[in-house]
């Protein structure tokens, strides 16, 4: 079933809720988490999906990208755009193939504002979740520019909904 | 109004640059996007009063430039996506503020709108020059 594709629509649902000022409410948070749960269950039930070490590897690469970007952006004051671009460029030199994409996707998670993530803990969780979502949505929106950012936004929105960060 | 128009013009320039880099260099999609974003982040804010907004728009356009040749196969497609992206970023400045991945989401929405328009107008075409590396 294509239901797992709903995972990548989490930020779109969050954007609609935000436009109507519903995202910080209990209703908004429940909608976001419900979309996540339905999508994850559908993704795990895909015949092609296999639980492997790649899931953990992706989560760790994404988390590293997120944390480094966040620190460069907020602690060194480089700004989110420059920090993410630097992490992407370095990642492209150090890593190969799809790992480059995962690192770049993690850097998008790290572009979040320090007002949303006052501590690094939830950001680490968002980074790890981003890597997991990358693997779960590997067949969604293939070849669509902005796909990585959408996955990153999904991870950030879910974590912020869980911790009440909106 | 000037800022709005300038935002679109700069987005078009960045989109064209991204497409040219994809077609004429051996850089990976990540390198092309990161180079465009880095240039936007360093150059535009000091140059313009609204430079921060322009940098965000160009960064989103750089993400849209990661499209595979099958999704975006000509300068016309890329310029259309860039224009839509500029509008989406401008209109959505107060949506999901501070959420990482917001620009990428705007880019993806722009690409999907462009694909939808192409399908509605039956403008789908075979990729002409698929020299660029495929996107992930």
Q: How far apart are CA B130 and CA A117, in angstroms?
A: 41
In a domain, B66, yes or no: yes
H-only helix segments in chain B: 2-24, 29-47, 51-64, 75-91, 102-120
pLDDT at B122: 77
Number of domains composing chain B: 1
B90: domain range?
2-120
Q: Cβ separation of B60 and A146 shorter than 8 Å? A: yes
How much is the pLDDT for A99? 94
Q: For each of chain A's 166 residues, which pLDDT tens digit applies?
A: 577 788 899 999 999 999 999 999 999 999 999 999 999 998 888 877 777 888 999 999 999 999 999 999 999 999 999 999 999 999 999 998 899 999 999 999 999 999 999 999 999 999 999 999 999 988 888 889 999 999 999 999 999 999 987 8
Q: Is residue B130 part of a domain?
A: no
Q: What's the pLDDT score for residue B136?
A: 44
Listed by start position, the domains of chain A span 2-163
Evaluate whether residue B133 is within a structural domain. Answer: no
- Measured CA to CA, the distance from residue A146 to residue A25 in angstroms comes to 28
Of residues B28, B92, B105, nearest to A153 (C-beta): B105
| φ and ψ at residue B60, rounded to 5 degrees | -60, -40
Q: What angle do CA A104, A72, B12 make, to 5 degrees?
A: 55
Cα–Cα distance for residue pair B68/B81, rounded to 1 Å: 13
Contact A11 B55 (CB under 8 A): no
Residues of A within 8 A of B56 (CB-CB) are 81
* Alpha-carbon torsion, ordered A45, A50, A53, A59, to 10 deg: -40
The alpha carbon of residue B67 is apart from the nearest alpha carbon of chain A, in Å, by 4
Positions in chain B short of pLDDT 50: 128-136
Q: What is the pTM of this model?
A: 0.91
Q: Say what the pLDDT of residue B134 is.
A: 47
Q: Per the domain annotation, does B125 fall within a domain?
A: no
């Amino acid at each position: 079933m294509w239901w797992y594709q709903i995972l990548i629509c989490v930020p779109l649902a969050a954007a609609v809720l935000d436009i109507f000022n519903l995202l910080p409410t209990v209703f908004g948070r429940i909608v976001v988490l419900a979309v996540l749960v339905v999508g994850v269950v559908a993704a795990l039930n895909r015949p092609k999906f296999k639980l492997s070490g790649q899931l953990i590897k992706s989560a760790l690469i994404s988390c590293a990208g997120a944390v480094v970007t966040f620190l460069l952006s907020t602690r060194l004051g480089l700004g989110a755009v420059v920090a993410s671009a630097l992490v992407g460029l370095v990642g492209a030199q150090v890593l190969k193939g799809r790992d480059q994409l995962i690192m770049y996707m993690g850097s998008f998670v790290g572009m979040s504002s320090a007002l949303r993530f006052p501590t690094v803990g939830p950001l680490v969780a968002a980074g790890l979740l981003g890597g997991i979502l990358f693997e779960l949505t590997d067949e969604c929106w293939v070849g669509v520019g902005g796909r990585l950012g959408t996955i990153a936004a999904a991870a950030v929105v879910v974590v912020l909904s869980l911790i009440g960060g909106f | 109004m000037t800022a709005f128009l300038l935002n679109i013009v700069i987005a078009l320039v960045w989109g064209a640059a991204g497409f040219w880099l994809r077609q004429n260099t051996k850089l990976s999609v990540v390198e092309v996007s990161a180079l465009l974003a880095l240039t936007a982040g360093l150059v535009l804010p000091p140059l313009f009063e609204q430079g921060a907004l322009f940098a965000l728009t160009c960064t989103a356009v750089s993400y849209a430039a990661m499209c595979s040749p099958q999704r975006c196969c000509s300068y016309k497609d890329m310029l259309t996506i860039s224009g839509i992206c500029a509008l989406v970023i401008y209109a959505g400045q107060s949506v999901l503020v501070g959420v990482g991945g917001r620009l990428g989401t705007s880019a993806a929405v722009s690409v999907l709108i462009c694909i939808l328009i192409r399908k509605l107008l039956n403008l789908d075409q075979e990729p002409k020059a698929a020299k660029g590396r495929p996107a992930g």
